[in-house]
């Protein structure tokens, strides 16, 4: 009798544990799906929604369903991309195969990217400081800096105008800067969206 009771008790305990694990797993799957859906729906307000989803969906579990965390993540991704491009362009500008005008345009571009990095870093810093009492001031600063970063990126490609520039270099630089500009544009749209729902 005691043996039968123990076996039944053991069976029920393992059944409950299995049910608890199943519920937890289903909740986790549901949460992941909800977070990913939030990223996808938030990206529809950006100018480059496919890039937005591609760059942010891997961070869905961090973003959860927070417009603020979404904007913050977009800024961090943009900063990382701008950093990587800046490092690569510094290397490229010391290439002996570039014409003096190309080297000059490349260095100007690196300088513009330096400004972009500063503006993005300041924006990320301010996003972390957002509190209700000074919200409007900080948000205004963030929007101004991200807009300025976008202008700097566009200025960078201006130096590569003209037929006397190496086609390959021009295309290469333009493609890299375009990605950063698109990421910045998306980040700004997400910041503006967050500002509109907060305000």
Specify the residue for token string 């800024």. Answer: 75
Q: What is the mean pLDDT of the chain?
A: 82
Higher-confidence residue: 96 or 8? 96
pLDDT at 29: 47
Tell me, what's the pLDDT at 77? 95
% of the chain residues with pLDDT over 90? 43
d(C-alpha 169, C-alpha 136), whole Å: 42
pLDDT band of residue 28 (cuts 50, 70, 90) is very low
Amino acid 31: pLDDT: 58
Residue-wise pLDDT for 87-144, tens only, equals 988 888 777 777 888 888 888 888 999 999 999 999 999 988 877 667 788 889 999 9
Q: Which domains does the chain show, CATH number per domain?
A: 3-198 (1.20.140.40)
Please determine, for residue 166, whether its predicted confidence score (pLDDT) is greater than 70: no
- At residue 48 the predicted structure's pLDDT band, cuts being 50, 70 and 90, is very high
pTM of the model: 0.81
Encoding tokens for residue 185? 């544009």
Residue whose entry in the numeric block shows the structure tokens 């490349």: 106
**Contacts of range 118-126, beta carbons closer than 8 Å, 24 or more positions apart:** 119/145, 119/146, 119/148, 119/149, 119/152, 120/75, 120/78, 120/79, 120/82, 120/145, 120/146, 120/149, 120/184, 121/79, 123/75, 123/149, 123/191, 124/72, 124/75, 124/76, 124/79
Residue pair 48/171 in contact (Cβ under 8 Å)? The answer is no
> Is the pLDDT assigned to residue 30 strictly greater than 50?
no
């Amino acid at each position: 009798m005691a043996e039968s009771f123990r076996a039944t008790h053991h069976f029920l305990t393992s059944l409950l544990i299995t049910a608890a694990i199943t519920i937890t797993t289903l909740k986790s799957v549901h949460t992941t799906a909800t977070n990913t859906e939030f990223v996808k729906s938030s990206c529809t307000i950006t100018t480059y929604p496919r890039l937005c989803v591609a760059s942010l969906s891997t961070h869905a579990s961090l973003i959860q369903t927070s417009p603020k965390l979404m904007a913050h993540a977009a800024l961090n991704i943009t900063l990382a991309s701008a950093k990587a491009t800046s490092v690569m362009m510094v290397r490229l500008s010391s290439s002996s195969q570039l014409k003096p005008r190309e080297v000059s345009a490349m260095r100007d571009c690196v300088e513009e990217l330096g400004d972009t990095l500063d503006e993005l870093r300041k924006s990320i810093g301010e996003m972390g400081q957002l509190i209700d009492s000074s919200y409007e001031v900080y948000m205004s600063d963030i929007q101004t800096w991200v807009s300025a970063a976008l202008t700097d990126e566009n200025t960078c490609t201006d130096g590569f105008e003209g037929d006397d520039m190496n086609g390959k270099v021009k295309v290469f630089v333009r493609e890299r800067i375009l990605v950063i500009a698109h990421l910045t544009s998306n980040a700004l749209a997400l910041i503006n969206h967050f500002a509109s729902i907060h305000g």
